[in-house]
Amino acid sequence: MSGIGIDNTSKKAVTEDYVRFLEMRLQELQAELQWVKKEREYYRNQVEKMMTPPLVEATVLEVLDDDRAIVKSTTGPNLVVRILGSVDREALRPGVRVALNQRGSAIVEVLPTREDPYVRAMEVIERPNVRWEDVGGLEDVKQLVREVVELPLKYPEMFKEVGIEPPKGVLLYGPPGTGKTLIAKAVAGETNATFIKLVASELAQKFVGEGARIVREVFALARKKAPSIILIDEIDAIAGKRMEVGTSGEREINRTLTQLLAELDGFDPLDRVKVIATTNRLDVIDPALLRPGRFDRIIEVPPPDYRGRLEIFRIHTRRMKLGKDVDLAYLAKITEGATGADIKAICTEAGYNAIRARRKVVKMEDFLKAVESVLKGRFRPYVQTGPSESEERHVI
Ligand code: ATP
């Protein structure tokens, strides 16, 4: 009797297990079905997009009434076209870009305005509020930049008296996120100068003549707003070694670089305009740019050492409410190889961790988690071997 009882009980348990397994499997399959449906939807959309005929671009010349407008199509003639009911009438003004259906008989969409390349490639800050104390570590770099950029801007007469010409520009090179832009902002901040940032990779994508035009206008603006610091970010995008033959894109880049060289040669070293260029790729820079009178100082901006990292941690935690257990020296030790940008990201992430835990005070555990998530693969846990908190160098 009891044997049969056990048999039935275990059979029941096995069956229940199997039912549970089937239920789980069902849930999994349902989830998979949802996913497959989404995938099908996505690809169906893609196919539809591929099948729809291209639209014709046109510019509105005049809106006649609620239903009709005169447009100039990019294919040629001026056309009187219908306006589809779904088109936003408010946005329909002379000069606006629109899309016509393929037969060119109706406006089907108002297109976004083309962003001014001049605006996209440039940023102007009148007297940025960054100071040298906001730049951690990099003592040698700061010293050099002070001598060759800050001094001539502040005391040009000193250079005249001594009879020497300061460099017109410096080239900062080093890995991304090591503070090159920050240094340029700090010089501008310290000298009450206008900071003008030019993104060279944006210039490289411009239409014929535009890159060169922007370079010319930026130098004109810098002179007008002097003292000025022009920062040319990622200069390698326009100053790669020049090639003999190339595509029209390359010719355009050459034109932009030629304009830049002309501008550099054209101004006086004591004009109160200084140019700071940055790159991560010193090896590809055209030597013409490095000749005396152009970027004749080349300064390396390396990732921070232990002391630098500690300073950067201090800078970026200045305004944070830190728990008593937070040990910045320890954090500086375990983040070997991290850049200033990484450290800033760690501090921000630690703050988020505290917010997630509904705390206003940021604790050490928040920082440790942040180190792990920001540095991910690069992070190697540090094993402390003794009370070496003040140690300067540390091998992990
Ligand atoms: P990229 O080559 O990618 O343009 P970069 O070298 O110009 O990088 P920055 O843009 O200056 O790097 O750095 C990004 C941010 O990281 C800075 O705004 C700053 O908050 C922080 N940072 C980097 N280096 C330092 C530093 N030495 N001291 C303090 N903060 C730093």
Which among 108, 107, 117 has a CA at the least distance from the CA of 61?
107
- State the sign of the Cα–Cα–Cα–Cα dihedral 299, 242, 231, 307: negative
252 pLDDT higher than 70: no
255 pLDDT higher than 50: yes
Kindly state if the Cβ of 128 falls inside 6 Å of ligand 1: no
Nearest atom in ligand 1 to the alpha carbon of residue 185 is: 11
- Cα dist from 346 to 21, 69, 175, 374, whole Å: 43, 55, 18, 6
Q: What is the pLDDT of residues 274-306, one digit of tens each?
A: 999 999 888 888 888 888 878 878 999 999 999
Q: Does domain 56-110 have CATH number 2.40.50.140?
A: yes
Q: Both tokens of residue 360?
A: 């206003």
Of residues 187 and 119, which shows the higher confidence score? 187
Q: Indicate which residue's Cα is closest to atom 31 of ligand 1.
A: 340
Which among 285, 301, 341 has a CA at the least distance from the CA of 145?
301
C-alpha 268 – ligand 1 centre gap (Å): 30
Which among 120, 235, 116, 220 has a CA at the least distance from the CA of 170?
235
Q: Both tokens of residue 17?
A: 């297990």
Q: What is the pLDDT of residues 147-186, one digit of tens each?
A: 989 998 888 888 888 888 888 889 999 999 999 999 999 9
Residue found by looking up tokens 């928040």 in the block: 366
Q: Which CATH class is domain 306-395?
A: mainly alpha
Q: What is the pLDDT of residues 357-380, one digit of tens each?
A: 999 999 999 999 999 988 875 644
Q: Indicate which residue's Cα is closest to atom 10 of ligand 1.
A: 181
Neighbours of 105 (CB within 10 A): 13
Kindly state if the Cβ of 179 falls inside 6 Å of ligand 1: yes
Burial class (CB in 10 A: 0-12, 13-18, 19+), 197: buried
Q: 198-202, 321-325, 354-358, 365-369: which range is least confident on average?
A: 198-202
The CATH number of the structural domain formed by 118-300 is 3.40.50.300
C-alpha 88 – ligand 1 centre gap (Å): 43
Q: What is the pLDDT of residues 15-68, one digit of tens each?
A: 999 999 999 999 999 999 999 998 888 888 877 777 677 788 888 888 998 889
C-alpha 279 – ligand 1 centre gap (Å): 13
Residues 212-237 have a mean pLDDT of: 87
C-alpha 182 – ligand 1 centre gap (Å): 5
Read off the DSSP letter of residue 285.
Answer: B
Q: In which order are the strands placed within the sheet that holds 295-300?
A: 122-126, 194-199, 228-233, 273-279, 169-173, 295-300
Q: Where do the structural domains in the chain lie, given as residue ranges? A: 1-52, 56-110, 118-300, 306-395
Angle, helices 340-356 vs 364-375, to 10°: value is 130
Q: Give the chain's length.
A: 396
C-alpha 39 – ligand 1 centre gap (Å): 40
Q: Which long-range contacts (CB under 8 A, 24 or more apart) does 354-363 make?
A: 360/321, 361/321, 361/322, 361/323, 362/317, 362/320, 362/321, 362/322, 362/323, 362/326, 363/323, 363/325, 363/326
- Give the up-direction half-sphere exposure of residue 291: CA atoms within 13 A in the CB hemisphere: 8
Angle, helices 210-224 vs 248-266, to 10°: value is 20
Please report the pLDDT score of residue 91 as a whole number.
Answer: 85
> How far is 67 from 85, CA to CA, in rounded Å?
8
- Cis peptide bond N-terminal to 227, omega within 30: yes
Please report the pLDDT score of residue 351 as a whole number.
Answer: 94
SS3 assignment, position 132 = helix
pLDDT band at 382 (very low <50, low <70, confident <90, very high): very low
What's the chain's average pLDDT? 83
